[in-house]
């Protein structure tokens, strides 16, 4: 029996392997979460300087900063992190949650993101099995984790992630086949209608809320993320995603207010709740919709 045969015949082996691999992906997602907003800020400042015609002495020569360089370093002492100090989860535990050089406490967010990535990815592998759909669902899962934390921190959903997700969903719809179970991706017609409907739905909500209250309730990044979900899962899943995101947002928002972790009236990003709802719909959407319809007697 080859290794590929073992993965195909053993869901446990596949799930465990995906969990371990995804811990490494989670470590990379920490880099994306930290650096992408800084990269966007630099890009926006450069564009602003260009639009204002500011050049010469106004232009600062900043060192390269992207997802590859410079090497990861301690935010406090600036000493580069060695490879053996950057093993997902394990290094954090062995170092006692502190920098190996200056011993300043490291944020627990890093191992939390790594562990969450591993667990959610393992759930995807168990759900979809040994199939190319699993890789597609993993890519969507990893992107949603990055979007969730970035939006929580900065209240932005970067186009650098949402737009590739949207186009990838549309492209994958070409590979749709009636025998695919779970139905990911969906057929091209459902994907196109889902992308257009997802964007239009939140666009209408945005303008209705702004006309009534004078405030912006959701952002353009939310439009694009829901459009991406429509492209991946079809227009049929959009009502469920909106309902689940509203429910999770209400529950978590009330909990944060009760625990006094967030002030009343302080803006709360919608993207994390939309991402949670989209991931749930990707995993169990048809079952949830089927149960709802049967409960209310729409189907037998």
* Mean pLDDT of the 271-280 span: 96
Domain ranges of the chain: 1-130, 131-300
Question: Radius of gyration of the chain from Cα atoms?
Answer: 21
What share of the chain in percent tops pLDDT 90? 54
* Mean pLDDT of the 67-96 span: 86
CB 36 within 8 A of CB 160: yes
Please name which of 141, 220, 133 lies closest in space to residue 183, comparing C-alpha atoms. 133
The pLDDT of residue 63: 81
Name residue, tokens 């749709």: 176
Q: pLDDT tens digit string along 130-157?
A: 999 999 999 999 999 999 999 999 999 9
Whether residue 244 has pLDDT greater than 70: yes
* Mean pLDDT of the 84-97 span: 88
The pLDDT of residue 55: 60
The pLDDT of residue 186: 93
pTM of the model: 0.92
Task: Give the integer Cα–Cα distance in Å for 190 and 93.
Answer: 46
The pLDDT of residue 260: 62
CB 273 within 8 A of CB 249: yes
Rounded to the nearest 10°, the torsion over CA 182, 222, 244, 246 is -170
Q: pLDDT tens digit string along 19-68?
A: 999 999 999 999 999 999 999 998 888 888 778 777 655 555 678 888 98
């Amino acid at each position: 029996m080859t290794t590929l045969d073992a993965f195909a015949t053993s869901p446990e082996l596949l799930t465990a392997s995906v969990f371990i691999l995804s811990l490494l992906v989670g470590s990379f997602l920490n880099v994306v979460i930290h650096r992408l907003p800084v990269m966007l800020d630099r890009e926006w400042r450069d564009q602003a300087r260009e639009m204002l015609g500011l050049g010469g002495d106004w232009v600062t020569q900043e060192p390269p900063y992207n997802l590859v360089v410079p090497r990861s370093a301690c935010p406090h002492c600036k000493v580069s992190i060695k490879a053996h100090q950057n093993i997902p989860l394990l290094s954090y535990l062995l170092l006692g949650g502190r920098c190996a050089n200056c011993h300043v406490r490291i944020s627990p967010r890093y191992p939390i993101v790594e562990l969450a990535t591993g667990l959610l990815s393992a759930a995807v592998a168990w759900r979809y099995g040994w199939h190319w759909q699993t890789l597609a669902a993993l890519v969507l899962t990893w992107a949603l984790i990055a979007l969730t934390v970035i939006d929580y921190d900065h209240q932005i959903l970067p186009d650098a992630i949402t737009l590739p997700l949207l186009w990838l969903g549309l492209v994958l719809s070409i590979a749709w086949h009636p025998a695919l179970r779970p139905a990911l991706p969906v057929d091209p017609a459902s994907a196109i209608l889902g992308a257009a409907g997802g964007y239009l739905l939140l666009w209408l909500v945005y303008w209705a809320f702004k006309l009534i209250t004078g405030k912006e309730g959701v952002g353009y990044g939310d439009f694009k993320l829901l459009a991406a979900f429509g492209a991946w899962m079809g227009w049929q899943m959009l009502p469920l995603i909106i309902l689940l995101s509203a429910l999770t947002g209400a529950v978590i928002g009330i909990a944060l207010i009760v625990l006094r972790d967030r002030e009343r009236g302080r803006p709360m990003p919608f993207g994390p709740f939309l991402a949670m709802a989209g991931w749930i719909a990707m995993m169990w959407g048809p079952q949830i919709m089927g149960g709802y319809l049967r409960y209310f007697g729409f189907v037998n």
